[in-house]
């Protein structure tokens, strides 16, 4: 992530998406992703916002598969089935 964000126009979220979708890294948790945060709030705090530190503590339980957890969180928000 550090190397990618050094490039002009690349932020942390973009670097995390690159790691997830292009490099297929299994343990990336995009804590700045609004969809991920919304799903965590829904499942762990009755839909109410919570401090980022609490979200990160929850995500620690998903190591070393935080990318997989992220994918499930995203899919939970979208009611339309996806065909790959």
60: number of CA atoms within 13 Å, CB side?
6
Does residue 66 have a pLDDT over 70?
A: yes
The pLDDT assigned to 84 comes to 67
Are residues 7 and 19 in contact, defined by beta-carbon separation less than 8 angstroms? no
**pLDDT category, 82, cuts 50, 70, 90?**
confident
What span, in angstroms and rounded, lies between the C-alpha atoms of 13 and 73? 16
Question: Would residue 33 show up in a list of annotated catalytic residues for this protein?
Answer: yes
Does residue 26 have a pLDDT over 90?
A: yes
The pLDDT assigned to 9 comes to 94
Q: What is the pTM of this model?
A: 0.87
- Show Cβ contacts of residue 25 under 8 Å, excluding neighbours closer than 6 positions: 19, 67
**pLDDT category, 5, cuts 50, 70, 90?**
very high
Match 């670097």 to its residue by tokens: 15
Phi and psi torsions of 78, nearest 5°: -105, 110
Catalytically annotated residue among 27, 33, 54, 78? 33
């Amino acid at each position: 992530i550090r190397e990618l964000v050094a490039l002009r126009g690349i932020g942390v979220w973009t670097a995390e998406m690159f790691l997830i979708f292009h490099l297929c890294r299994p343990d990336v948790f995009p804590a700045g992703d609004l969809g991920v945060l919304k799903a965590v709030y829904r499942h762990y705090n009755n839909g109410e916002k919570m401090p980022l530190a609490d979200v990160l503590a929850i995500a620690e339980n998903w190591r070393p598969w935080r990318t997989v957890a992220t994918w499930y969180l995203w899919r939970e928000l979208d009611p339309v089935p996806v065909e790959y």
